[in-house]
Amino acid sequence: MASRGLSQPIQPVRRLDIDWLRLLAVLMLFFFHSTRIFDINEQFYAKSSQTSGLLTFVFIDLVWPWFMPLFFILAGASTWFAMGFRSAGKYAGERFKRLFIPFVFGLLVIVPPQSYFGLRGHSDYGASFLSYYPGFFRIIPQDLDGYFLGGFTFGHLWFIIYLFVYSLMALPVFVYLRGERGVRLTRRLAGFFSPPGLIFLPAFLPIIMNLFIAFNPNPLYYLVFFVYGYVLMTDSRFGAAIDRHKAAALILGPGLYLLWLTWLKTQHPVVPWWLAFFLDLHRGLLSWISLVAILGYGRKFLNFSNGFLNYFAQASYPYYFLHQTVIVVLGFYILKWQAVLAVKFVAIVGASFLVTAALYDLVVKRFRVTRFLLGLKSLPQPPRASAAAEGPSSG
């Protein structure tokens, strides 16, 4: 790979597989967070008295090792391309506009309804949302997620503020990797990880982070994947190594995890502490191996474009902001139906997607203010008519 200094910006190259993986991950959120309503293990803002082990297994247990790491590794990969035609200062400013301002807006407008309906769904609270709103800013230690006592929470926007902080923290590293010494370093790393099996070694850094930091979401754990995503873009040999190991990763990662999880659920319905510790210990291994499979097969099968992808290339970010609040609000009311669990689940998933799509198309993308508040680029200015075109024709 040719060396490029910061004074030699590269032109952005659209990686269709990254666009597709981001799109599919956002769409998966509708199933993931709808399942949280029926989760057999944890609380949520809207919570059904009927729970489903099958839904929990398919849409939560099977995806938790790789789901959020995938978001961060894709964000890191996108950062590589973004910094190819921006200075460090412009990149930091762009991150402020695209991440921090939408985060503040979301915290003030998008997240509070989740805590409000969480309070209503878990108690007999019946006041209006406007009456409740000041109470959202209370920090309640007994319910830091805001699931059932109505207090302050980042909600699903924890990902956005983490990504903003990571972008600033890692910026000096990324700038260094753009320079001559950094290019030499990434070349050596790419050569080191090219031999058979060595592409799996990066799993051990997330393992260490996950082992020694119990806070959830673990900030250093996800920071590793963000930096990994950037580094993977620096040399084509990383991608080639992932391609060669994708089939093995598909067996070692999701395959072995499925066997492990099946055994765990059948043999230990109540997980003892030592099993929970072991599960945390190998989470990093499962995450990285699963990502090798996902990235490898994404490169193989998702290198194409169509209208659906073109639409979501811009829409996926506002969809992320809107989807969980829509799910919680609709879930609160759909749970009141006299219907079986499967009908409620399908209704929540389908209706939340349609409402999110309508909000994006009718409210977000059409107005400059909403585009700015949700991190989209400004609408293109209409071309000015020429003087000849504005006046009456002659002749």
Digit-coded pLDDT (tens) for 147-173:
999 999 999 999 999 999 999 999 999
Q: CA 359, CA 250: separation in Å to the nearest integer?
A: 37
Nearest to 227 by CA among 100, 99, 84, 80: 80
pLDDT of residue 269: 55
Do 233 and 37 contact (CB within 8 A), yes or no? Answer: no
Measured N-to-C along each axis, helices 88-95 and 67-82 cross at an angle, to the nearest 10 degrees, of: 140
Look at residue 242 and tell me if it is in a domain.
yes
Predicted confidence band at 21 (pLDDT cuts at 50, 70, 90)? very high
Q: How far is CA 189 from CA 185, 245, 370, in A?
A: 6, 17, 43
SS3 state at 143: helix
Digit-coded pLDDT (tens) for 330-383:
999 999 999 999 999 999 999 999 999 999 999 999 999 999 999 998 876 655
Look at residue 345 and tell me if it is in a domain.
yes
Checking if the pLDDT of 122 tops 90, the result is yes
Digit-coded pLDDT (tens) for 183-231:
999 999 999 999 999 999 999 888 888 777 766 778 889 999 999 999 9
Nearest to 327 by CA among 32, 66, 121, 123: 32
pLDDT of residue 385: 44
Look at residue 388 and tell me if it is in a domain.
no
pLDDT of residue 275: 59
Q: CA 334, CA 356: separation in Å to the nearest integer?
A: 16
Q: CA 76, CA 295: separation in Å to the nearest integer?
A: 13
Neighbours of 182 (CB within 10 A): 19
Q: CA 337, CA 72: separation in Å to the nearest integer?
A: 37
Look at residue 365 and tell me if it is in a domain.
yes
Top pLDDT among 207 and 141 is at: 141
Q: CA 273, CA 77: separation in Å to the nearest integer?
A: 36
Nearest to 203 by CA among 213, 195, 193: 193
Burial of 328 (0-12, 13-18, 19+ CB in 10 A): buried
pLDDT of residue 65: 84
Q: CA 51, CA 207: separation in Å to the nearest integer?
A: 31
DSSP 57-119: IIIIITTTTTHHHHHHHHHHHHHHHHTTSS-HHHHHHHHIIIIIHHHHHIIIIISHHHHHHHH
Digit-coded pLDDT (tens) for 41-97:
899 999 999 999 999 989 998 888 899 999 999 999 999 999 988 899 999 999 999
Look at residue 10 and tell me if it is in a domain.
no
Number of domains the chain is built from: 1
Tokens of 282: 């190998």
Checking if the pLDDT of 390 tops 70, the result is no
Checking if the pLDDT of 108 tops 80, the result is yes
pLDDT of residue 34: 98
Burial of 338 (0-12, 13-18, 19+ CB in 10 A): exposed
Digit-coded pLDDT (tens) for 252-286:
876 767 766 666 666 555 556 555 566 655 677 88
Sign of the Cα torsion 205, 156, 334, 30 reads: negative
Look at residue 14 and tell me if it is in a domain.
no
Look at residue 76 and tell me if it is in a domain.
yes
Do 168 and 92 contact (CB within 8 A), yes or no? Answer: yes
Helices within the chain (DSSP H only): 16-36, 53-56, 67-82, 88-95, 101-105, 112-121, 129-132, 158-178, 180-192, 204-212, 219-232, 236-250, 256-267, 273-281, 283-301, 307-334, 341-359, 368-373, 387-390
CA-angle at 349, arms to 345 and 352, nearest 5°: 130
Burial of 296 (0-12, 13-18, 19+ CB in 10 A): buried
Neighbours of 188 (CB within 10 A): 11
Do 43 and 147 contact (CB within 8 A), yes or no? Answer: yes
Do 323 and 29 contact (CB within 8 A), yes or no? Answer: yes
Look at residue 5 and tell me if it is in a domain.
no
In which domain, by residue range, is 338 found? 19-379
